[in-house]
Amino acid sequence: MKKRTPTHPPEAEAIRPETVVEAGEALRRLAEAPAGTEPPALNALAQDPQMIQDFLLEAREHLSNIEARLLEIEQGASGAETINSTFRSFHTIKGLAGFLDFPVIQEVSHEVETLLDRVRSGELKMTPERVDAVLAASDYLAVWLGSIEEGACGRAGLPPPAPEALIDRVRAASSAGAGGAPGLEGETPAAAAQTAAKSSRAPAALIRVDTAKLEYLVDMAGELVIAQSMLRHNPGLEGAKTPRLQRDLTQLARVTAEVQKTAMALRMVPVGQLFRRMTRLVRDLARKSGKRAELELSGEDVELDRSIVEEIADPLVHMLRNSVDHGLEGPEERLAAGKPPVGRVWLGAKHQAGQIVIGIRDDGRGLSRGKILDKARMRGLVGADQQLSDAEVWQLIFHPGFSTAEKVTGVSGRGVGMDVVRRHVERLRGRVEIETSPGEGTVFHVKVPLTLAIIDGLVVHAAGERYIVPIYGVREILKSEPGMMFTVEGKGEMALVRDRLLPVVRLAQRFGAAPAADAGAGLLIVGESEGLQFCLQVDSLAGKQEVVIKSLGETFSRVRGIAGGAILGDGRVGLIIDLAALGPGARRLARE
């Protein structure tokens, strides 16, 4: 979604008539009041919930723009338009805050506006210290917006700190040593091109829709798909399928598919806004750790389900913290290794085989296989003589509390980050893969589905019931052959798959159904959860199907191993298997 810069109070045409009357009455009473009379305690417009929400949305858009422009300035794009864009954002926030009686926001914005006005007029240069002061003001305004939102929702919280110290800091930055134009000559060609591209984008026509209405529309589109599928498989139509009926059913299927596709597209948002937030994170982390680092973004226009974008933020933060704190070397170490003193981190997104792949890459020291194995053996995660592949060694860093850091810092070192990453990503039906080269850097590939509302699954039979196994967790499917199954003392049933013993979970027994007469017959589905594999034994495979995920409600929310349900073409419900929940027993056996 494109940002828009308002030139008037947001959604002014939506103000209710009674609110305007109240405001007019308040102004009339103020004009008629005797000299020295205190002004009214309340601004009628400031009490309008819709006005408050519009203000919060507009202000946060401007704060996001401010942060992005300031980071561009630090990277050399300190041209006139970049400074002017930052100035306009603060000016707009000040105007809106004054309109709604938020004097602190108005005062802080005014002081920063004064500083930026001196910069754009050529009296001052935009030094790193001044960038820090403006960023601090932006952070302070964000805290105030959060406090206003809490109040609007009826939740009492701690008020933000007084602004005096911040105002003094901004004033000091504004009055400190003047000199020179704001760095127009020093702007790098790449930064200038980047700024020009952003300013040339045409604004999109936008309309605001309540999230609840959007979710309801998506749900109804899913119901429409289910109804269309049930109609197509209705036994009553089997003997009445005339050519015209067939054409009508085909047309209905086409229209239904288009409606579902459009409804799902409404949930999709570009990852660019999330990625740009990470630029500030890398900047602050590098400063805190005494390093120099730059973040390069790509694939900002790639779209993801809104709920996935919200959930993926924490994993990205943890991985970027590790890349900067553990991956990148300090300037001296990099120079000694023949690298430039400024470390580079890449964050990008792309489509791949129906998934979105988010990559985090750094040009740092890479992962140390020896250190990871030593730490794992010390903690008992790996046997003394156990041999692991590189991929298995890299997966060890996702264990809770695992860290190879020699000291604990304010950024990392306690081993509480990467296990959070895996839990979050697997909850999104995704996985994390690692590539690394000593001395050259590390790449994390986070693979997640496009949406959480629809899933591709294998429809399988087990003891007369149908289940749906999500394809994202399936590695291969094998026919169970005599001699593949073993019972290992203390470990239960195992299957020999490609010279590896994998734990077996019999789906029918897991849910209390009667097992097949021939315990060795059927299919073995090799699934993966948290980097470890196990076999899911089923009777037969019915096929592959895209299904709409439906919640089973509070009654079945505690049933372990079931992620939800889906209405199949014949109207019956198929249970969706939660591989991560079925895996704990298998993972415990695999580690022993």
Backbone φ, ψ for residue 352 (5° rounding)? -155, 115
Contact between 373 and 382 under an 8 Å Cβ cutoff? The reply is: yes
CATH 2.30.30.40 fits 454-591, yes or no: yes
Cite the residue boundaries of each domain of the chain with CATH code 3.30.565.10. Answer: 269-449
Cite the residue boundaries of each domain of the chain with CATH code 1.10.287. Answer: 211-267
Q: Is 122 helix (H, G, I), strand (E, B) or coil?
A: coil
Q: What is the pLDDT of residue 109?
A: 92
Q: What is the pLDDT of residue 29?
A: 47
Residue type at position 563 = A
Write down the CATH number for the domain with range 12-179+188-200: 1.20.120.160
Backbone φ, ψ for residue 441 (5° rounding)? 130, 180
Name the nearest CA neighbour of 87 among 48, 136, 120. Answer: 120
CATH fold group of domain 211-267? Helix Hairpins (1.10.287)
Q: Is 159 helix (H, G, I), strand (E, B) or coil?
A: coil
DSSP state of 24: H
Q: Is 297 helix (H, G, I), strand (E, B) or coil?
A: strand
Longest Cα–Cα distance of the chain, Å, equals 100
Q: Is 57 helix (H, G, I), strand (E, B) or coil?
A: helix
Mean pLDDT, consecutive 10-residue stretches, the chain (592 aa), reads 39 42 46 46 60 85 88 75 89 87 90 90 87 91 88 75 90 70 40 45 61 83 83 78 86 89 85 87 87 90 87 89 89 91 93 83 91 87 82 85 63 62 84 89 89 82 88 85 79 83 86 64 81 84 82 75 80 82 52 42
Alpha carbons 546 and 563: distance in angstroms, whole number: 15
Q: Are strands 441-449 and 431-437 parallel, antiparallel or unpaired?
A: antiparallel
CATH homologous superfamily of 269-449 equals: Histidine kinase-like ATPase, C-terminal domain (3.30.565.10)
Cite the residue boundaries of each domain of the chain with CATH code 2.30.30.40. Answer: 454-591
Backbone φ, ψ for residue 547 (5° rounding)? -125, 155
pTM for this predicted structure:
0.65
Cite the residue boundaries of each domain of the chain with CATH code 1.20.120.160. Answer: 12-179+188-200
Q: Is 488 helix (H, G, I), strand (E, B) or coil?
A: strand
Q: What is the 3 state secondary structure string of 263-282?
A: HHHHCEEECHHHHHHHHHHH
Q: What is the pLDDT of residue 192?
A: 42
The CB density around residue 212, as the number of other CB atoms within 10 Å, is: 8
Alpha carbons 132 and 112: distance in angstroms, whole number: 12
